[in-house]
Structure 1
Amino acid sequence: MSDTPPDRLSVNPKSPHYDAEVLARGVGVRFKGVEKTNVEEYCVSEGWVRLSVGSTVDRKGDPMTIKLQGPVEPYFQTEA
């Protein structure tokens, strides 16, 4: 496994960008230089994060999210 997180990653198992092995290793995200703990999905190349908003869910049971634009810096929290 590489030392850099993937360009795009989602924590939702229904998403095509979900990767259980990478998530098990622990991925942290800095957005605009601030550590974010409520990231549902991110894309480095397009420069956006999707953050969960509180504990509300949509009609399918997925968390409500908001998409924000800006610099995204993912990193591994633990070594491989």
Structure 2
Amino acid sequence: MWKLVVGFIAFAALALFILLKSGGDIDMSGEKHDVGAGHAEPAASVASAAAPAAASAPEAASAPASGASQ
């Protein structure tokens, strides 16, 4: 049983060493609760995606009614 624990610790240490040396963006400090930083860019892309849809809405409203509604 103790061999499994030692093996796990050795494997975890080797994995962390490789990840840290490979230049990856590893942050071991826990969760970040900065609300504005992570969600600013996606909110802007959603707003820009909604703009073309809103621009085409008046065109759809001015289209002639279908034959079924007459």
Task: Decide which structure has greater strand share.
Answer: 1
Higher relative contact order (CA 8 A, sep 6+): 1
Task: Decide which structure has greater helix share.
Answer: 2
**TM-score band (shorter)?**
under 0.3
